[in-house]
């Protein structure tokens, strides 16, 4: 059989695939965590932005602690050792319900990233005003904008309602300005996207989130998570007062084992790797031909305007001197 025949007969065109490199698990990292210890964490930040953090006895033995993430852990460990700074991740969710599945999925995403050493902060959209031209100085608006500016990357989790993302979620994105002067607050940041659905699996919301990310000039990772029938995918809430039941339930309201959970882990691991690689070149990814051209054209206009003003000033001075013979005791004839 000739090479041509093999390629034409190969529906998946596997002959052009680049040979993948397999990363063997490093069992020395089993159970290892790079999460910020409570003793080293800012107590105000922890209380306000880390509602996902579990009791130490739960976190040491839950499903997140058992994940094989040795390659990502090694990358994060090396980066923290060399740079001394953790990845900064902002997580947004899109529901105000008491038992919000997008919030629960956001919490599970945060726990994975927290174990990988990220400084994770979840924004609570409660009391965020509807986007208008009046509330720009509102405390919740400023909080959201400051978190976005602070971050290296975002994770967006929205429910699907009426076939698309919710108003609660879109309102948060609308309050993050696309442009502030010459600065684009989200430009060059990475983005991971996920959705929860009450019915069968859909990708309408993640498709819309991906479009929003592109419009916000963010790098959206290739992978994505869509959890169908979310009300069947989480365990029941547990009262921490019943210690044994609470430990057995890993704190309660946890994502149950399934392909959906595995996909979420894939997304968070991929997001962390992309963010780690791209953060080093943040300024490089913000450098664009069109923007350089605009800046140069603006500089040329400003320089031309300055020169014209200076020339006009010189001509004005010459005219004012033209009708005089002596100025401040100086003979100006012939000047």
Name the superfamily (CATH) of residues 27-289. Flavodoxin domain (3.40.50.360)
Q: What is the pLDDT of residue 1?
A: 45
Give, to the nearest 10 degrees, the angle between helix 167-175 and helix 139-150: 70
Closest CA to 208 of 191, 188, 186, 187: 191
Are 87 and 118 in contact by the 8 Å Cβ rule? The answer is yes
pLDDT at position 291 is 78
Q: What Å distances lie between residue 129 and 65, 139, 233, 244, 246, CA to CA? A: 37, 10, 31, 41, 36
Across the strands, what pairs with 121? Answer: 90
What is the per-residue pLDDT for 325? 62
Q: What is the pLDDT of residue 314?
A: 79
User: Which residues of the chain, if any, have pLDDT below 70?
Assistant: 1-9, 180-183, 317-335
pLDDT value at residue 317: 67
What's the pLDDT at 315? 74
Tell me how far apart the alpha carbons of residues 108 and 254 are, in angstroms, rounded to a whole number.
Answer: 7
Closest to 121 measured CA to CA, from 226, 42, 66, 180: 42
Torsions phi, psi for 262 (to 5 deg): -60, -40
């Amino acid at each position: 059989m000739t090479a041509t025949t093999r390629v034409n007969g190969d529906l998946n065109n596997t002959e052009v695939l680049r040979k993948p490199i397999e990363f063997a698990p490093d069992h020395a990292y089993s159970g290892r965590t790079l999460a910020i210890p409570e003793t080293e964490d800012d107590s105000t930040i922890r209380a306000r932005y880390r509602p996902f953090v579990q009791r130490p006895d739960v976190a040491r033995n839950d499903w997140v602690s058992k994940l094989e993430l040795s390659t990502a852990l090694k990358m994060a460990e090396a980066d923290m050792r060399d740079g001394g700074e953790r990845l900064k991740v902002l997580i947004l969710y899109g529901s105000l319900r008491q038992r919000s599945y997008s919030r629960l999925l956001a919490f599970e995403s945060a726990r994975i990233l927290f174990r990988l050493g990220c400084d994770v902060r979840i924004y609570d959209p409660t009391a965020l005003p509807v986007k208008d031209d009046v509330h720009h100085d509102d405390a919740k608006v400023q909080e959201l904008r400051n978190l976005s500016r602070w971050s290296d990357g975002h994770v967006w989790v929205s429910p699907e309602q009426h076939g698309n993302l919710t108003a609660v979620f879109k309102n948060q994105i609308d309050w993050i300005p696309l442009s502030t002067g010459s600065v684009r607050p989200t430009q060059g940041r990475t983005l991971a996207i996920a959705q929860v659905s009450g019915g069968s699996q859909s990708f309408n919301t993640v498709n819309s989130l991906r479009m929003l990310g592109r419009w916000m000039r963010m790098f959206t990772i290739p992978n994505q998570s869509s959890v169908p029938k979310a009300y069947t995918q989480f365990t029941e809430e547990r009262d921490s007062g019943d210690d044994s039941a609470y430990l057995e339930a890993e704190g309660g309201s946890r994502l149950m084992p399934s392909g959906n959970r595995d996909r979420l882990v894939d997304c968070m691991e991929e997001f962390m790797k992309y963010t780690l690689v791209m953060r080093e070149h943040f300024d490089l990814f913000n450098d664009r031909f069109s923007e350089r051209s605009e800046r140069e054209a603006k500089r040329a206009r400003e320089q031309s305007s300055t020169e014209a003003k200076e020339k006009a000033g010189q001509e004005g001075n010459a005219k004012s001197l033209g009708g005089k013979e002596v100025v401040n005791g100086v003979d100006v004839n012939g000047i």
